Amino acid sequence: MSFVSKPRIIHKSLKRNALGLTVRDYEGVATTLCAGCGHDSITAAIVQAFWEMDMPAQQVAKMSGIGCSSKTTGYFLSAAHGVNSVHGRMPSVTTGANAARRDLTYIGISGDGDSMSIGLGQFAHVIRRNLDMLYMIENNGVYGLTKGQFSASADLGSQTKKGEANQQPPIDPVKASLAMGASFVARAFSGDKEQLVPLIKAGLRHKGFALLDVISPCVTFNDHATSTKSYAYTREYYHPAIHADFIPPSEEIVARYDEGETMDVQLHDGSHVILRKVDKDYDPTDRGRAFNFLMDAQDRGEVVTGLLYIDQKQGDMHQRSGTASKPLGRMEHQELCPGSEVLKDLQKAYR
Amino acid sequence: MSQVNNFVIKLANVNGTGSASANGLVMKAIFRMGVPVVGKNIFPSNIQGLPTWFEIRVSREGYLARSGEVDVMVAMNGQTFDRDLKEVSPGGVLLYDSTWPRERSIKRHDVTVLGIPLARMCNETFENPRARILMKNMSYVGALAALLNLDMAVLRELIEEQFASKKKLVGANIQAIELGYNYALENFKCPLASHIEPMDKTAGHIMIDGNTAAALGCVYAGATVGAWYPITPSTSMMDAFRSFSEKTRVDKETGEKNFCIIQAEDELAAIGMVIGANWAGARSFTPTSGPGVSLMSEFLGFAYYAEIPMVLFNIQRAGPSTGMPTRTQQSDLLLCAYASHGDTRHVLLIPDDPRECFDMAVQAFDLSDRLQTPVMVLSDLDIGMNDWMVPELEWDDNYRPDRGKVLTDADLAKVEKFYRYVDSDGDGITYRTYPGGDPKGAYFVRGSSHNKFGAYTESSAEYKEVLDRLLVKWETAKTVVPGPVIRSSDQPGRTAIVTMGSCAAACREASHKLAAKGIHLDYMRVRAFPFGEEVEQFLEEHDHIIVVEQNRDAQLRTLLMTETRVHKDKLHSVLHYDGQPLDYRIVVAGVEEFLSKGEMA
């Protein structure tokens, strides 16, 4: 952990994006997590993704709950507003914020404890509402801040440092969200930035709820030989089922893709996600088959990654409820108050 | 005393039989005849089959509390017949369905029993089985019309309004009313001693319940996001907000809605949504009741410490735990005042009737924005779900919301740096910004310890600085919350009644009755927490203070003892907590008992 403040030195050689900003401009305060923590790699990928997307900071709201993962919203995009709320309740705060300001881009950072245990109820219901947000779970199978208890995502038989084996089956955020009807489901590994960055971008641009579960080893409490959420285990059983390339609306698709192995998904804002399939039979628009594929892979002990499912037909919360396109939080009083004459009229029913 | 325009009708029914609209009709007819009236619905936590009562008090003096008398009982529920009979005041009248005669078993000679074969008449007149049940209700309305001298033209007008969209039902309902009306005229001496004579004392008034009025207040205050989890007795507030919003906030051309109502998965989520929406710059609220507040406590502490405005309506019911969901109480005062772990304290507004629910809903948003802290409106089931006669609601079109200290992009352009929790004005209230604005105004909200710059800190001094500044803000709150309502008696003295919320009506009537007996009491109704200087002064000026409230543990007395300079020996309690709306006689008896103890040297 570091407690020195981070120097703001921007080297001249750093590239600038369309807003004239360098990647450093998308950083936050210095991390206080353990050296080698997977979460820090994810933070770096988030910084990279926002920078590459030319995202203005005021367009973003960073939301989190409690835990090591939830601390990380402080470590990127200092220039964006953020709420570090209470344990397991990030989805509700984000729902309210989105209700008020539908024009902002929401990134929620959670952990396996925050989402699969204390926050499982809110996790389920934010999916049900198809809230327009990217929901990232930094998944390490362990409670870090309280020093090493199993979380609900720990695999059966995975052991703690002291050798105690987990006796309860895991709740897998990917399978759970698929079952609950999520419209975008992806998994990645903190050690594979190349795969992670485009998934972050696609998730941010997806109109609706995007789940991105990122296996993110805890170097202090869950990175030993008998853990199934360690760097070594994840690397060995890592199974990228599908790669995603993200292409923003203004750019042309220049890379050459072999026909039959790729799938072009155009998002609502005009950007494209080109999916390169490693498994030829995989169809990321078929919820049932995606589920079966994951079940089979789990039996083999594999960690399947990639953009595993996408459905762009579901309307988000506002589309379903017919909310005004102008954000409610920006409306003037005159647009909202019916006035004294209407009040007189309404009261006729109470005479 | 003459019983003209001064009596109580109680209707005993089975719930789920459509009696509510029939009973409402009787009350509305009296109201339209210009006679002050109030209705109390005493209903079970159930949908169909259990006993339910509706009490209509007619009071030419305009008293709105329960009186404890029953002058006319309409006993339509066989299950409760015996206890209903027992409750009739001596000299009263009991009306019942004599299709199944019971005269022989009735042992009270001080009650006039009137039997009408309602079921038989309706079965002979109507074909449809459901209609036979519903029309039975309308038939006793007709009988009451004859017995109480209700204006048939007014009843007809009300029926036509009620069934404006289902016109073909008008005829059957009027027919049913006439059945009962004619039977009563032919068989009984009409009207009874307890009857209605038209007056003109309801002009400029409406009959409305507090939840409806509070919802209307939210619409007028410009609230756009409502998040809630259904809980009795608060549910009708969101129903009303939805209905008023659909009427006034939908774009006629596009159908776009200038509001967003979210039914949450639980109260934890409901309040989280409200906090999120307020943080993002919308006015947002949640209606709930005691059990909901228990669940919301974690987030209330978060909003207090992170200083995010939010408005909560607690329509109190009888606790503890699930308690009596359909009965009234004022037992969440202490819970709400200090909800959440750590040193927390919250601004409370306590309305006494639906009109004040409307006004305080608007005030709650202004105060919450201004003080950047949760504001809870403590209503209760009696106010929230019963129809009260109140002066028409008024609106000043010059009203502009007080959004408090919010820096716009233009403001930010003028400052070098923005820090969220620096108290530059010395009132404990700091400046905030909304997301989506200039990045210069960006800050990170956290429930963890933070310094005045908004950064995480574990420095004791920095932590304490923020915690102490919140107390400065609390002092500011004392100066901006609504002051108490104070009424000096004709002979101001050193003895007083202090009360809150829905006790007001009973206390007012009790004061009049006591004054007639030569007992003159000054009166103060606190309307907000924290207590301001006016409350302190009133307490100081009186030696014997009788605190009237609806809970077992004297919560208002406790709060006054803890949060004002008053000496606790000066405070005495009259407590009522059986779940029924307060009856003025309980106040009279409580005061007399206290005085008889001779403690008034």
Instruction: Give the pLDDT confidence of B553-593 residue by residue, as tens digits.
Output: 999 999 999 999 999 999 999 999 999 999 999 999 999 99
Structure token pair of residue B348: 């409370």
Size of interface A-B (CB pairs under 8 A): 230
What percent of chain A clears pLDDT 70, i.e. is strictly above it? Answer: 96
Map residue B185 onto helix, strand or coil. Answer: helix
Helix axes A90-100, A120-128, angle to 10 degrees: 30
Please, are residues B393 and B361 in contact by the beta-carbon 8 Å criterion? no
- Burial class from Cβ neighbours inside 10 Å (0-12, 13-18, 19+) for residue B166 reads exposed
Peptide bond into B233 cis (omega under 30): yes
CB contact under 8 A, B282 and A99: yes
pLDDT digits (tens, 9 = 90+) for A215-274: 999 999 999 998 989 999 898 888 888 888 888 887 777 666 665 677 788 888 888 888
**Pairing state between β B37-42 and A262-266:** unpaired
- Burial class from Cβ neighbours inside 10 Å (0-12, 13-18, 19+) for residue B254 reads exposed
The interface residues of chain B toward chain A in range 244-283, judged by CB-CB distance below 8 A, are: 244, 247-249, 251, 255-262, 264-266, 268-282
Say whether residue A329 is in contact with chain B using an 8 A CB cutoff.
yes
Facing residue for A92 by CB, picked from B264, B393, B434: B264
Q: Residue A328 pLDDT > 80, yes or no? A: yes
Determine which of A328, A340, A345, A348 to mutate to test the interface with B (most B C-beta atoms within 10 Å): A328
CB contact under 8 A, B442 and A339: no
Say whether residue A344 is in contact with chain B using an 8 A CB cutoff.
yes
Q: Per DSSP, what are the bridge partners of residue B510?
A: none
pTM for this predicted structure: 0.96
How many residues belong to chain B? 601
Q: What is the DSSP string of A79-124?
A: TSEEEE-STT-HHHHHHHHHHH-TTSEEEEEEEHHHHHTTTHHHHH
Say whether residue B213 is in contact with chain A using an 8 A CB cutoff.
no
Residue given tokens 């975008």 in the structure block: A184
Q: How high is the pLDDT of residue A1?
A: 41
Domain ranges of chain A: 23-342
| Count of helix runs (H) and strand runs (E) in chain B | 19, 21
Q: How high is the pLDDT of residue B308?
A: 98
Q: What is the DSSP string of B108-177?
A: -SSSEEEEE-HHHHHHHH--SHHHHHHHHHHHHHHHHHHHHT--HHHHHHHHHHHTTT-THHHHHHHHHH
Alpha-carbon span B595 to B581, nearest angstrom: 24
Letter for the amino acid at B419? Y
Alpha-carbon span A247 to A253, nearest angstrom: 7
Sign of CA dihedral B491, B492, B498, B503: positive
Nearest residue in chain B measured CA to CA from A128: B265
Please, are residues B381 and B233 in contact by the beta-carbon 8 Å criterion? yes
Name the CATH superfamily, with its identifier, for domain A23-342: Thiamin diphosphate (ThDP)-binding fold, Pyr/PP domains (3.40.50.970)
Please, are residues B313 and B379 in contact by the beta-carbon 8 Å criterion? yes
CB contact under 8 A, B279 and A96: yes
Residue given tokens 């607690």 in the structure block: B314
Map residue B479 onto helix, strand or coil. Answer: helix
Split chain B (601 residues) into runs of 10 and give each run's mean pLDDT: 92 92 96 97 89 96 94 96 96 96 87 96 92 92 98 96 91 96 97 97 98 98 98 98 98 96 98 98 98 98 98 98 97 98 98 98 98 98 97 98 98 96 98 96 97 96 98 98 96 93 98 96 98 98 97 98 97 97 97 83 40
CB within 8 Å of B430: residues ≥ 6 apart: B307, B372, B405, B420, B421, B422, B423, B424, B452, B469
Helices (H), B326-459: 333-337, 354-371, 381-385, 409-414
Say whether residue A74 is in contact with chain B using an 8 A CB cutoff.
yes
Residue B410 has phi, psi (to 5 degrees) of -65, -40
ipTM higher than threshold 0.90: yes
Half-sphere exposure of B377 (CA within 13 A, CB side): 39
How many whole angstroms from its chain centre is CA B124?
42
Per-chain mean pLDDT for chain A: 92
Q: How high is the pLDDT of residue B601?
A: 40
Q: Per DSSP, what are the bridge partners of residue B544?
A: B495
Residue B18 has phi, psi (to 5 degrees) of 80, 15
Q: What is the DSSP string of B576-593?
A: --SSSPPBHHHHHHHHHH
Say whether residue A61 is in contact with chain B using an 8 A CB cutoff.
yes
Facing residue for A350 by CB, picked from B208, B227, B433: B208
Q: Give rounded-to-5 percent helix, strand, coil for chain B.
A: 40, 20, 40
CB contact under 8 A, B395 and A343: yes
Q: Place A4 in a pLDDT band, splitting at 50, 70 and 90.
A: low
CB within 8 Å of B329: residues ≥ 6 apart: B316, B317, B318, B319, B323, B380, B381, B550, B551, B577, B579
Q: Which domains does chain B have, with CATH numbers?
A: 6-202 (3.40.920.10), 208-391 (3.40.50.970), 409-480 (no CATH), 485-596 (3.40.50.920)
How many whole angstroms from its chain centre is CA A219?
21
Residue given tokens 């509001």 in the structure block: B259
Sign of CA dihedral B219, B222, B225, B226: negative
Neighbours of A175 (CB within 10 A): 18
DSSP class of B320: S
CA end-to-end distance (rounded Å), chain B: 35
For the sheet with A184-189, list strands across it: A238-240, A303-310, A184-189, A209-215, A133-139, A105-111, A60-64, A81-84, B444-446
pLDDT digits (tens, 9 = 90+) for B68-104: 999 999 999 999 999 999 999 999 999 999 999 988 8
Map residue B158 onto helix, strand or coil. Answer: helix
Sign of CA dihedral A333, A336, A342, A344: negative
Please, are residues B27 and B39 in contact by the beta-carbon 8 Å criterion? yes
